[in-house]
Amino acid sequence: MGKIGSFTHVSLDGYFAGPNGEIDWFKTEDEEDREFSARASRPSGTLVFGRTTYELMAGYWPTADADPASSPLVAEFARIWRDMPKVVFSRTLERADWNATVVPELVPAEIMELKAQPGGDMVLGGAELAAAFMRHDLIDEYRLYVHPVLIGRGKPLFQPSDATISLRLAGTRTFGSGVVLLCYQRPGAHDEESGDARAP
């Protein structure tokens, strides 16, 4: 049984995007991209997207390694992205390519059945999908990539809620770019590969 993990970029003042969805304020470097690739591509893992995030990624990653200008890291992740199984939550898509299955509704019981099956982690891509999973208390691990920028206004990462969810700090990592990774897990969620508590 794997974990359900959320990977999210966030500004220091708590926004995952600007008022109109702008994400030009965050810039990742090879160090962060390498860390994300290693975590997302664990054996038998599954990438989970909403429609918007899936379409953005499907518009680039399937052929990114065919570009002679692509770095070795980009080419590596392109191969990872194509091969990994993917679930896309969408009420409008009838089908999705690149080893993807379309699911029309987020049904908590069905997610728990998927989680109970042998295999790797389920990795959530996109803050809006993560918010939907949060509303049902389905996330075992929050990996927040906090960028050293204040954008003033935008779409907040965490929406108001009546729920209280207790978490434990599983590790931190500071990248050369100034981005800080904060990894929080649900008590009882164990990460055998974390090792160093400061570098999950």
| DSSP assignment letter at 112 | H
pLDDT value of position 196: 38
Residue 96 vs residues 37, 78, 109, 143: alpha-carbon distances, Å: 22, 17, 23, 27
Q: Where are the domains of the chain?
A: 4-185
Question: What is the reported pTM?
Answer: 0.80
pLDDT digits (tens, 9 = 90+) for 46-72: 889 888 888 888 888 888 888 888 888
Q: What single string gives the DSSP state of each residue in 50-73? A: EHHHHHHHHTTGGGGGGSTT--HH
CB 87 within 8 A of CB 98: no
pLDDT digits (tens, 9 = 90+) for 96-113: 888 899 998 889 888 888
**Domain formed by 4-185, architecture:** 3-Layer(aba) Sandwich (3.40)
pLDDT value of position 172: 94
Beta bridge partners of 5: 123, 141
Q: CB-based burial of residue 4 (10 Å sphere; 0-12 exposed, 13-18 middle, 19+ buried)? A: buried
Residue numbers of the chain with a pLDDT score lower than 50: 192-199
